[in-house]
Amino acid sequence: MEWWVWLLLVLAVLGLLALSALTVQARRRYLRFARHWPWTGVITDALARLEALPNPG
């Protein structure tokens, strides 16, 4: 499975999918969180750190 499918599964389990929207533009997937939600900054920072990790394969 691709990484974004795993992310959607984790978000669904945590109940965060209701506070976000998955959009697709030009073959890229974007997960948009509500700006008023207090954990938006924490999750986007964590995703940015994960994205910065080197590709293991």
pLDDT digits (tens, 9 = 90+) for 1-56: 677 777 777 776 666 656 667 678 888 877 777 778 787 788 788 888 888 888 87
Contact yes or no for 34/18 (Cβ under 8 A) = no
What pLDDT shows up at residue 5? 77
Residues 9 and 11: their CA atoms lie apart, in Å, by 5
Ordered by start, the domain boundaries in the chain are 11-52
pTM higher than 0.85: no
List of residues 6+ apart from 11 with CB closer than 8 A: 17, 20, 31
